[in-house]
Structure 1
């Protein structure tokens, strides 16, 4: 049964809109881009939430509303992967499951930042614990991204394609590279300074940048494929 092209486009735009709102809340309200140094003392962390408590809580509200932005995008990706699979859509299903599960770890950090700011006069060590849990959850939770990326890469590299497919071979290699760079985030547990710290080049900046770029590239490929598919079916 064919899936509405306009509905698929609407889901992609929905995902991109939620992502934009999430980033605005993260950058301008929660104000943790970049993450502060992991060497901050408990008093420094507590002072940050005391000074920015209202803004952080508002940012947590907004980010909590929109942090599931990967779900509609993952659904459209699965619909398009299903076109290319023979039999039961194993890889499309794995991709959608991975996309949904990864959303949990985009939801948890804003919730925890909001908790840290909720009671600014609590003991500083408790606020530090919540702050560390939020930051490390953000940068080290690579567990479910890999299922989405591997599934897309497999279909891109092995399925029989047509000119209407959004997953050419180069996109498979690009997704593998993205997955590899994401896995570097787990090193955030080890150092407190340097490129592998939670605000370092390889744990924060590169994963954040390539994730946003991958979403934009994927959305473009989906939009282009939908346009071609709709033209052929007209």
Structure 2
């Protein structure tokens, strides 16, 4: 009985801690965007995909890469899968802040959150495929090459979910016409321009060479650099919005 009382007291103390207050939880969620991006980057580095493998490699060369770096492939697969776990809380924090925009239609933040839920699999599915490649690295080389191509196409061609999400976020930002809007208009422009830069990646399945290939300047470097950059920018401004909300709540309580 004494233990139960002690446990209840401890749990009550934890539940009242400032470290799990609504504001702090939002801060945690906002930081998940940067964590997600870092995990994707670390996953690519671990699998020796920075720089990426070459699309024109023979099946033997492709299979040899995975066989040589099998431990890194295993680690990279795990990191990419875990990255999806952080993307959804980050997106949920954005959705919550979007709801603070006056007269914003309900469906706008719902579309943003629905696209985020789909986007989680855009991050996790390539990790699962990479894990499958590393599960039996000494299978027939043609199968490994096919799975490798599937990994790259699923990693890069599945950008439309992010475009929908970013456009919905931009809609909320640009629709906020208050003197002190929740987010600066420039952030809305960023969330329109960056997804448009993803669009050339829809053609990476058409070529093995050049900037549009999955190892090219547009098909690889541009996509991953701007994706990581946007996650960082949105996370920073999300933190600022959360801070402003905290100040407003403190002023109301005072």
Could you say whether these structures have the same fold, taking a TM-score greater than 0.5 normalized by the shorter chain as the test? yes
Alignment partner of 1:186 out of 198, 202, 226: 202
> What is the aligned partner in structure 1 of residue 14 from structure 2?
none
Q: How many residues align?
A: 230
- Once structures 1 and 2 are overlaid, which stretch shifts more, 155-164 or 67-76? 155-164
2:193 corresponds to 1:172: no
> What is the aligned partner in structure 1 of residue 163 from structure 2?
146
TM-score when scaled to structure 1?
0.91
Shift of residue 87 of structure 1?
A: 6.6
* 1:134-190 CA-partner distances (Å, limit 9, x unpaired): 011111112211210110121122233352502x22211111101100122112111
* 1:7-40 CA-partner distances (Å, limit 9, x unpaired): 110112234234323322321x211123211101
- Once structures 1 and 2 are overlaid, which stretch shifts more, 212-221 or 65-74? 65-74
Larger radius of gyration: 2
C-alpha separation in 1, matches of 2:142 and 2:210: 24
> What is the aligned partner in structure 1 of residue 239 from structure 2?
223
C-alpha separation in 1, matches of 2:232 and 2:120: 17
* 1:56-112 CA-partner distances (Å, limit 9, x unpaired): 113212332233332111101101110114275211111111112111011111211
C-alpha separation in 2, matches of 1:152 and 1:6: 22
Q: Which runs of 5+ in 2 are unaligned?
A: 1-20
Alignment partner of 1:37 out of 48, 54, 58: 54
Alignment partner of 1:7 out of 19, 22, 25: 25
> What is the aligned partner in structure 1 of residue 248 from structure 2?
232
> What is the aligned partner in structure 2 of residue 84 from structure 1?
101
> What is the aligned partner in structure 1 of residue 38 from structure 2?
20
C-alpha separation in 2, matches of 1:185 and 1:177: 15
| 8 A Cα contact 2:36 2:84, kept in partner | yes
TM-score when scaled to structure 2?
0.85
C-alpha separation in 1, matches of 2:48 and 2:133: 13
> What is the aligned partner in structure 2 of residue 135 from structure 1?
152
Matches of residues 51-70 of structure 1 in structure 2 within 5 Å?
Answer: 51-70=68-87
C-alpha separation in 2, matches of 1:113 and 1:106: 12
| 8 A Cα contact 1:164 1:226, kept in partner | no
| 8 A Cα contact 1:164 1:225, kept in partner | no
C-alpha separation in 2, matches of 1:216 and 1:44: 35
Q: Which runs of 5+ in 1 are unaligned?
A: none
Q: Give the alignment's Cα RMSD to 1 decimal.
A: 1.8
2:194 corresponds to 1:199: no
